[in-house]
Amino acid sequence: MKYASLSLSLLNVLCLSTSWVTATSLEFRRVAQSSASSKRGSLLPSTSSGLHARGTSGDGPGNNRMNNHVDVRYSANITLGGKEFVVALDTGSADLWVFPDDRGEGLYNITDIPVEQRYGDGSIGVNGTVAFASFQMGSFNVPQQAFIHVESANAPGLKEYGVDGLLGLGFNSVIVSPINQAVKGQWGQNATLGSTVLTNIFSQDGRNESNFIALDLSRTDDLEDTDGGSFSIGEYAEPWKAVAQAPKLYQYPQGGYRWTTLLDGITVGGTPLSLSSLLRGVPEGRLIAFIDTGDSAAVLQRNLQNDLYSYIPGAATFSQGDSRVWIIPCNTTTIVEFTFGFDFGDSDGTAAGQPYIQFLAKTDPAKATAQVALIRSRTMADLPPEIEPAKLVEMLSAEDPTVRPGNAPLSAASFSTQELPSAQESRSSVDKYGPVIIGLMAVNAVIGVILLALSVLNLIQRRGLARGATRSALLYVPVKSHATSEQGIGSEDAVPQNKKEKEDAKDNSADVKCEQPPPTPELPVPPSSANP
């Protein structure tokens, strides 16, 4: 094997392409639909012939509008049972579900098979029954798509942004698909009616495109709502076709059921942080990164959280109870980079059958840094003067005795760094892999002051997307770096599965705030533990 590295800045990573090399390796096989459903009554007749793409604006026919909700949620329009819904896209789960609709039911065939989808620590999720309906997204049609007909839900961070449900983009396996598990449990292991949306699309007769999805993520100036970006199946948006030639980051551990790969390094302002995985069998100096579009926050070990923010010039921290809060200057432009190692495959240049991820940078770091200062100064023009983070901590601790100022930020001279593995360094083989709990859930550009999302909830369509812009009032919101015990929608697979792993991974959350001085010093209210 030959290895090289790929460095991604928080200021310039906007495009994620995830590809399945073969249908077999990810179970996206061409399969006949099971007739076992007769046990619960026949399915409703397909209404797909009456469905059509919404409008022809944008880059081509059949375009849907992409909605970017303050860089926290990205949504898509789908049609389910003849009714339109806005759904968040999530690579961290596999199934489709929608909230109960006040407009009335669509044309559904609802079974009495119970099913639930849980996220994070299990406190977030939905409960309902398996149902079937015709499905359309862009020019894709699935006559009989399984989904969760939700009867009860605790899923914050969706309805607040006008999102009606969630569409999973994960693997077609009972490990990550409660619908698949429920259907097979009811009708036998050969039943395929519970297949995911992507599996049904990939297995359609006459389809000869490659089995991959590609995302082009939009970004706002300062957390306004805006339209833009793209999410395609089996093809790339015209401006970003170069992602097809980007280095391939293969799934790790091989044969898993998550979009995970190895993370080789994290640098803050050019200074590397020391990496040490909590999981058994992971190569020394590396972490497993879970690329999840279902959460806008990054899940990091507490020592990495502290190390990362300690290197932001002017940053300060305080603790209150079990929570630790970092405050950073509003105009900081410190760049955080995540480095991924990749191999060129075997001697013949192949790595057959392995799922992989590709990233393409579409932003010039130097220009982006300059734009941060310009945009942020414009945003802050009508606000009170910024207060220094250390001064704010002093004010808070004077006002409330439960507030404990943190240690002074680390200096570069006192920080003990660890060199990243060289490109030529050989990698030891890994025989056993633990469950993935270290997540690069999304890359929060707190450091660059602009919120990006590697993890996204994006709009999907087949032939490009309409682009436009809808601005709303400027808004500052806290950005939360979740602990493994406080994850939001799309994070169920990052949960430790046994007591030992839970103890190893146990961590406190860290809030990160860009502060303006309040009229009267008072403690900032932490965001919801689900999603910002």
| Amino acid (1-letter code) at residue 107 | L
Distance between CA atoms of residues 460 and 230, nearest Å: 7
Structural domains of the chain, with CATH: 27-202 (2.40.70.10)
Would you state the pLDDT for residue 184?
Answer: 96
Peptide bond into 401 cis (omega under 30): no
Residues 423 and 3: beta-carbon distance below 8 Å? yes
At residue 27, the pLDDT reads 26
**Do you know the residue count of the chain?**
532
Does residue 20 contact residue 211 with C-beta atoms inside 8 Å? yes
- Which residues, in sequence order, are bridge partners of residue 77? 86
d(C-alpha 398, C-alpha 392), whole Å: 10
User: 212: Cβ–Cβ under 8 A, 6 or more apart, which residues?
Assistant: 17, 18, 19, 20, 233, 234
- pLDDT computed for residue 185 by the predictor: 95
Q: Can you give the three-state secondary structure of 133-200, one letter per residue?
A: EEEEECCEEEEEEEEEEEEEEECCCCHHHCCCEEEECCCCCCCCCHHHHHHHHHHCCCCCCCCCHHHH
pLDDT, one tens digit for every residue, the chain (532 residues): 444 445 554 433 222 333 332 222 222 223 333 323 333 333 332 323 222 222 222 343 333 455 666 677 777 889 999 999 999 988 889 999 999 876 667 789 999 999 999 988 888 999 999 999 999 998 899 999 999 999 999 998 888 888 999 999 899 989 999 999 999 999 999 999 999 999 999 888 666 667 888 877 676 666 555 556 677 888 887 877 888 888 888 888 888 888 899 999 999 988 999 999 988 889 999 999 988 877 767 778 888 989 999 999 999 999 988 888 899 988 888 888 888 876 554 434 444 468 888 888 777 778 878 888 788 888 888 888 888 999 999 998 988 888 888 864 543 333 333 332 332 333 332 223 222 222 222 232 222 222 222 222 222 222 232 333 332 322 333 333 333 333 345 444 433 334 443 444 333 334 444 343 333 333 333 333 333 3
Give the pLDDT score at 110. Answer: 94
Tokens 């100064």 label which residue? 377
Tell me the CA end-to-end span of the chain in Å, nearest whole number: 41
The whole-number pLDDT of residue 67 equals 67
Our CA angle for 170, 171, 177, nearest 5°, is 85
> Which residue in the block uniquely carries the two structure tokens 């990939």?
202
In this structure, what are the phi and psi dihedrals at residue 155, rounded to the nearest 5 degrees? -135, 75
